[in-house]
Amino acid sequence: MTDTQVLTQLAQTPLVAAMIWLIYMLRRELAERLAPREAGPPPDALARTREDLSAFKVEVARTYVPLSLIRDVDQRLTQHLLRIEEKLDEVSRSAAAAAAQYHAQKR
């Protein structure tokens, strides 16, 4: 090896060492980020937050929705359910009549 090659390698050694150190630090930081976090809110805090959220939803529904709108939606829903019930009763009667006719023809 010539003196120039030795000097070049000696100049590159700190750069290689710095790169190795950077890679090591990046891997360590990544491992810390990916590690499962043991610290978190206690289970009671989560339950309390859910209860607070549901209470807030009830309060919003009670406060921000006019009672007339709720009554209107309830009336429309009841009408639709009654229509569905009538259709089901009609289908049931038709099926019973068809079954009776079928059994009468078989005899």
pLDDT digits (tens, 9 = 90+) for 18-37: 888 888 998 888 888 877 66
Please report whether residue 97 resides in a domain: yes
Please report whether residue 46 resides in a domain: no
* pLDDT attached to residue 36: 66
Helices then strands, each counted (H, E), the chain: 3, 0
Measured CA to CA, the distance from residue 46 to residue 11 in angstroms comes to 57
**Listed ranges 36-40, 57-61, 76-80; the one with the highest mean pLDDT:** 76-80
Please report whether residue 76 resides in a domain: yes
* pLDDT attached to residue 89: 94
103 and 63 together in one domain: yes
Q: Is 80 exceeded by the pLDDT of residue 43?
A: no
Please report whether residue 47 resides in a domain: no
Give the residue numbers spanning the domain of 19: 1-40
Residue with the two structure tokens 């209860």: 51
36 and 77 together in one domain: no
What is the number of alpha carbons within 13 Å of residue 57 lying toward its C-beta? 6
Please report whether residue 77 resides in a domain: yes
Mean pLDDT taken over the chain: 84
11 and 57 together in one domain: no
* pLDDT attached to residue 30: 86
Note the Cα 55 to chain centre separation in Å: 20
Return the ∠ at Cα 46 (arms to 42 and 51), rounded to 5°: 140
